[in-house]
């Protein structure tokens, strides 16, 4: 008899309310960008206390739009981190730029700020830090470096894909940097199936007359009139003012997002409870390096990823742990394989040997399941099985 549990890594939390919201849009006869999208953007702005939010088909698209509209191009330099998903840096590659990657600080998932300071050159135009796992990086420290170097012209575009709902010094993440990009992909805390958003406060950034309008136009082929506007009697005519992308969000996705927002605080609390369940068990073991969750300054994770590290483990032992847990029906993951270990970035000349701290984080990291429908008794079971297997492997 098979006594294995079936605990997937990260299924979406979808209720009948989301299903009915999508059905309502389908019945309406208007399924692409329309009134639901407008409402979703307004609700994001309220929730994050930001001036502007642009909902799109991905967080990647949000970053692409910033680099395009600000005309960041070959010859400019973009600084980021090797410890992230490819999206953070592939957007630079699309602009003809090989990103300058700054190693993470020792025993940290975040960019070494001393090395960041040294990496800034006269050609540096953008810094792209990453809120790894949902815990905000130190935005103020980055700003202080730019101020000290008299380089406040450098744009801070934060990959906040994981940190929707997180807090930085008591305030929701979204308006601390020049721009924040969020992901609403299927595995994220808040999902729209596929989707993302860009948030910012300064609608005249870089002297642009109406940055929000620029983002909306550029996300729709550079077209001056959206599809809903064109349906008005006699209002067919439009212009194309830039070689834009096609990355707008649909009303179906926005409808899911609107329902998710009404449930989101409860979903965050459930994720925090799972974090605490894991940590309360694992903290008693000297080999367990727990992920950051909150600090005394009011900074708090969105509890997106439980990035556990096992002291003394290498890749082989970590992978054996993943396999042994899978045999029990427990899905886990690794976040992330550093970019210089991937073929694209190797071919661009990057070498993981230049990023020893990133490799050290990766080789013994395992991500445990965290999602708002995971039962606490299952989280308890997972943590105890991790302890049992690690002690056997060690």
**H or E stretch at 126:** strand 124-127
In this structure, are residues 80 and 72 in contact, taking their beta carbons and an 8 Å threshold?
A: no
CA–CA–CA angle 190, 194, 195 (5° rounding):
70
Catalytic residue among 36, 52, 68, 188: 188
Half-sphere exposure of 287 (CA within 13 A, CB side): 18
Structure tokens, 6: 């079936």
Per the DSSP assignment, residues forming a β-bridge with 55 are 197
Helix (H, G, I), strand (E, B) or coil at 22: helix
46 is an active site residue: no
Q: Is 260 exposed, middle or buried (0-12, 13-18, 19+ CB in 10 A)?
A: buried
The number of beta carbons lying within 10 Å of the beta carbon of residue 252 is 22
CA distance 101 to 81: 5
Three-state SS string over 291-340 comes to CCCECCCCCECCCCCEEEEECCCCHHHHHHHHHHHHHCCECCECCCCCHH
Strands annotated E in 61-115:
77-80, 100-101
- Residues marked active site are found at 188
């Amino acid at each position: 008899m098979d006594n294995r549990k079936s605990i997937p890594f990260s299924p979406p939390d979808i209720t009948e309310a989301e299903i009915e919201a999508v059905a309502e849009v389908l019945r309406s006869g208007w399924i692409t960008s329309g009134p639901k999208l407008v409402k979703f953007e307004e609700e994001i702005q309220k929730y994050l206390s930001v001036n502007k939010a642009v909902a799109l088909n991905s967080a990647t698209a949000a970053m692409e739009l910033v680099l395009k509209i600000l005309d960041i191009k070959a010859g400019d330099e973009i600084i980021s981190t090797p410890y992230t998903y490819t999206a953070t840096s592939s957007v630079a590659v699309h602009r003809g730029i090989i990103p300058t990657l700054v190693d993470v600080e020792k025993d940290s998932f975040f960019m070494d700020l001393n090395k960041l300071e040294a990496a800034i050159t006269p050609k540096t135009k953008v810094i792209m830090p990453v809120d790894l796992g949902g815990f905000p990086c130190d935005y103020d420290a980055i700003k202080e470096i730019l101020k000290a170097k008299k380089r406040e012209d450098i744009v801070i575009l934060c990959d906040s894909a994981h940190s929707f709902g997180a807090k930085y010094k008591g305030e929701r993440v979204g308006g601390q940097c020049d721009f924040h990009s969020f992901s609403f992909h299927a595995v994220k805390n808040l999902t729209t199936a596929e989707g993302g958003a860009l948030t910012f406060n300064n609608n005249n950034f870089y002297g642009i007359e109406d940055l929000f309008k620029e983002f909306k136009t550029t996300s729709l082929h550079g077209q001056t009139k959206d599809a809903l506007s064109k349906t008005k009697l006699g209002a067919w005519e439009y212009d194309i003012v830039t070689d834009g992308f096609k990355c707008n969000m649909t009303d179906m996705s926005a409808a899911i997002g609107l329902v998710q927002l009404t449930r989101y605080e409860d979903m965050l609390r459930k994720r925090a409870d799972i974090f605490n369940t894991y940590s309360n068990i694992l903290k008693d073991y000297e080999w367990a390096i727990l992920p950051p969750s909150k600090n005394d300054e009011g900074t708090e994770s969105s509890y997106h990823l439980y990035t556990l590290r096992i002291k003394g483990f290498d890749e082989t032992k970590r992978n054996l742990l993943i396999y042994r847990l899978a045999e029990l029906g427990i899905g886990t993951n690794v976040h992330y394989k550093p970019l210089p270990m991937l073929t694209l970035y190797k071919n661009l000349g990057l070498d993981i040997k230049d990023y020893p701290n990133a490799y050290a984080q990766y080789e013994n990291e395992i991500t445990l399941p965290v999602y708002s429908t995971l039962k606490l008794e299952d989280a308890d079971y997972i943590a105890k099985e991790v302890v049992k297997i690690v002690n056997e492997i060690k």
